[in-house]
Structures are given as C-alpha cells and as structure tokens.
Amino acid sequence: MSDITSLTLTDLVKSIKDKKISSEETTKAFIDRGEKSRDLNSYITEDFSNAIDKAKAFDQKPNFDLKLSGIPMAVKDLFCTNGVKTTAGSKILNNFIPPYESTVTQNIWNEGAILLGKLNCDEFAMGSSNETSFFGNVQSPIDKGLVPGGSSGGSASALAANLTPITIGTDTGGSIRQPASFTGTVGLKPTYGSCSRYGIVAFASSLDQAGPMSKNVKDCALLQEIISTYDEKDSTSINFKRNAYSKELTNNIKGKKIGIPKEYTVDGMPKEIEDLWTKGIEYAKDCGAEIVEISLPHTNYALPAYYIVAPAEASSNLARYDGVKYGFRSKGENLIDMYEKTRSEGFGEEVQRRIMIGTYVLSSGYYDAYYIKAQKVRKLIKNDFDEAYKKVDAILTPSTPSAAFKIGEKTNDPVSMYLNDIFTVPVNLAGLPAISIPAGVDAKGYPLGLQIIGKAFDEQGILNIAYAMEEKIEFKNKITDWWIK
C-alpha cells in the first residue's frame, strides 16, 4: 500500500472499512508526519495523545457503518472543541477552553472521525495570508517562504502537506477558496445557512460559513454531506432539502450553462491567470457544458462594500472580548482602563484596525453614508447574480487575481492584501456557494485555482461541474517535503 498520509479521504475510509489498515495505524501515520512538519507551523494545538487513545478505542470496538469510521483529522482553530483549547489565532483567547462543541465538528465526530488538533489561522479569520495569527506565520508546503493564503492557512498547509486527510475552514470573504487555490487543494464555501455557525468564533455573522477543504472533489462532497445540517442553535440556519452530495456526484454536466463574467479581471492581472481562465473554459466545453457570456456589472464595488459590512459586524461581535469572563486580561486602574488595555494588548494590529473601521462606519453621523450605503450596494451585487442565474446554471472565474506571494510581501499595505479577495468576496455578499479547484500552475510552479459559483443551495450542481472538470484538468500537486530534515 502507498503511504497512508498521501491517500485521499475516500480511499482511506475504504481501507479502514476493508480492515487493510487500523485507525491507530492511520492516526499514528498522520501524527508522525505532523511531528516532522512542525516547521510549517500548521498547528496551534496538537491533541495527539488523545487522538491515539480514541483510535485505539475505535479499533477495539469499530463501527464501520459510519461515513468517517476511525478517520483522524485536524480542524481550523476557529471551531470550538469541547475541552480542547480554541484560540481563533488570537492572544485574547490563548487560554480559552470551550465547554461546548461546534455543530459542524460535532457532526464530524458523530460519523466516527477523530480530532488530531487545531490548525493555525489568521487572528479571528481576518487576513489573506495567515500572517496576522498571534501564533506566527504558516509556511506553505509548496515552497519555502511562501504564504499558504488565509485565513484558513493552517488548514490549507496541513492538508497539502499530508498532515491531515481532509479539513474544515471558514470563509467570510474567501478564507477557504483563496488558501485552497494557493496550495493546490479543493475548497468549498457553502450557501449561507447551509452549515451551522453554532460554536464557530464569529467574525462577520451575515457572511461567515464553514466548509470542507480536501484533496479532491469527491472527498469534498463527502464532507459537505456530513457538515451541512439544519441546526436550531443557529438562528440563520436554513431548513432546505440537502442532497446526498457524494452519492449523487456525477461527471455528466452535458448541456449545463456556464456563465463567464467579463468583469472578473483586474489591472495588472498576470497573463497566466487569464490563460488559466481560457483553459478552464475549454475544459468546461470538453465536458459538454455550454458557455455563455454574462455581466455582473457591480463586481468592482463588492470589495469596498465588504470592507464596510465585515468590519462593522466584526466590531460588534468582538465587543464581547473584554477580559471579564474568559480569555486574556490586562491589569487596569479601573474597569474601563482594564477593558481598554486588555483589548489593546490582546488583539493584534489587523483586528484592531478592523474594529476601528467598523466602529467608525457604525458611529453617529456616518452610519447612513457608509453602513447603509454598503448594504444597498450588497443588494445590487445580489441582483447582478439573480439576473445572471436567469440565463446560466453556474459561473466560472479565476479564484484569485494572482498565485501565492512571499511571507512579508504585502503586510505593510492593507489595501493590496485586501485585493486578494476580489473574486471571492462577491460570493459571500450574495450568500452563494462556490468551490475552488486546482487548475494549473504559474511560471514558478505555484498552484492556481478556478472558482465555480452556484445558485443558492445548488452545492450539488457546482460539485458536479468541479468533478467533471477535475477529470479533464488532471492536476497533480508537487510537494517535495523540503521542510522535513
């Protein structure tokens, strides 16, 4: 058998069910590789010894009727895990042990999976390169000194480096799709209301969604099937008929209409991205899809609207971190002084910047000019998609305007960092599902992704298109293990 850690989730599930390998062997293989890969800084918290105990317990009394029988996996440190430290990449939560479990992770454990540990991310998921984490940069396994993307950077790095067979991230403006694109992996942002937000550290509540990150589309469909459930504990969870995504997965997309929005281009976008997009269109045609030119005229306004809506919601959500009930506390002369010092010392620079932007746009005199204005623009962006979906079944775009960049390259220029999310943000504003699949490499050999955007609740439709295109693209990630001594 080939190396356990390089297997896809689907193959690993089958190998365990066929009793070719035990859960303990599998878990140990991922732990061994994790221990050799600490230079990547993918983990914030390793839960390895508990994982081995759970794997042994599974092997003693195995249940092979589950979808993830005995499968070890690591998750983004934004999901609350009962009894296991959950930091959201922040100093202000660096000692927080949740007394409850997020619904999404609970769904995963209910199917027999085992927690390996908690993966690094940008602080409160605010970042596009994993450089805002209190626990340090994450290295991309693709090349030394390269960012894995963000905010689910630890998740992308661990997955591409074979430290976990599959993982979950969260996506508020591109935080699953952009790191997937940067690391040659698959990432799905589901429809808003598909996966429960209960127990996920909140960033911007009207945009946040959890979703799977995987080595291929089939694995992605399997995990989506598990994590997408209606949940009373999330007031915006939506009760719709969910497909059996992995069972219903098909590469037959003949006659599907795929829209190409001419606005998805930016000044100075590398020709490689343009070429990748053209190639993607050819692949879609080869699969029998029909290509339709469409227009999403307000695309250029999505990012500025996002940088009002997301910080506004963040400033409100992060008001809870006051040093009183949990987390880091600084000494103060009085209560107010304690609050101000706690938040000043506990939050990093990017988080403080966003809280300040959010507070400003919500403050008296600016609320209408900024916040209400942004919500109106959000409506226009959603209308653009509604119009387009009268003519097409899905939309194909590049995932990002460039390949991964070097650590430190964009840290001093917030706006250039924000521009990374220009193709992913409109999807969150409109609440739609979208998947990024690896589709090629740039001149340096760094992976590039294509994004397929679907109608609301049509995860199955975009998974099928991704599945069909994946077969044509035949992408192979080149990981050299450069970090292992």
Give contact residues for other proteins (rule: CB under 8 A). Answer: 95-97, 99-100, 192-193, 206, 232, 235-236, 238, 298, 300-301, 303-305, 307-308, 315, 319, 322-329, 332-341, 343-344, 347, 352-353, 355-357, 359-360, 363, 370, 372-380, 382, 414-415, 418, 429-431, 456
In the set 23, 54, 69, 76, the catalytic residue is 76
Hunting for tokens 């679907």 — which residue is that?
454
φ, ψ dihedrals at 187, nearest 5°: -140, 130
In the set 102, 157, 175, 399, the catalytic residue is 175
> For residues 13 and 302, which CB has a smaller minimum distance to other proteins in the complex?
302
Hunting for tokens 């079944």 — which residue is that?
393
Residue in 44, 95, 88, 49 with CA at minimum distance from that of residue 72: 49
Residue in 344, 326, 264, 332 with CA at minimum distance from that of residue 300: 264
331 carries an active-site annotation:
no
> For residues 144 and 376, which CB has a smaller minimum distance to other proteins in the complex?
376
Minimum separation from the CB atom of position 15 to other proteins (A): 37
Q: Report DSSP letters for 291-309, one per residue.
A: EEEE--TTGGGHHHHHHHH
| Residue 271 exposed, middle or buried by CB count within 10 Å (0-12, 13-18, 19+) | exposed
Minimum separation from the CB atom of position 446 to other proteins (A): 26
151 carries an active-site annotation:
yes
Minimum separation from the CB atom of position 319 to other proteins (A): 8
> For residues 355 and 452, which CB has a smaller minimum distance to other proteins in the complex?
355
> For residues 221 and 303, which CB has a smaller minimum distance to other proteins in the complex?
303
Q: Report DSSP letters for 347-384, one per residue.
A: S-HHHHHHHHHHHHHHSTTTIIIIIIHHHHHHHHHHHH
> For residues 202 and 303, which CB has a smaller minimum distance to other proteins in the complex?
303
CA pair distance 295, 366, nearest whole angstrom: 32
Minimum separation from the CB atom of position 345 to other proteins (A): 9
Integer-rounded Cα radius of gyration of the chain: 21
- How far apart, in Å, are the Cα atoms of 327 and each of 136, 230, 319, 347? 19, 30, 13, 11
Minimum separation from the CB atom of position 82 to other proteins (A): 9
Residue in 138, 137, 148, 9 with CA at minimum distance from that of residue 73: 9
In the set 69, 129, 133, 151, the catalytic residue is 151
Minimum separation from the CB atom of position 333 to other proteins (A): 8
User: Which residues are CB-contacts of 334 (< 8 A; sequence separation ≥ 6)?
Assistant: none
The maximal CA–CA distance of the chain, rounded, in angstroms, is 69
Contact 374, 298 (CB under 8 A): no
Residues marked active site are found at 76, 151, 175
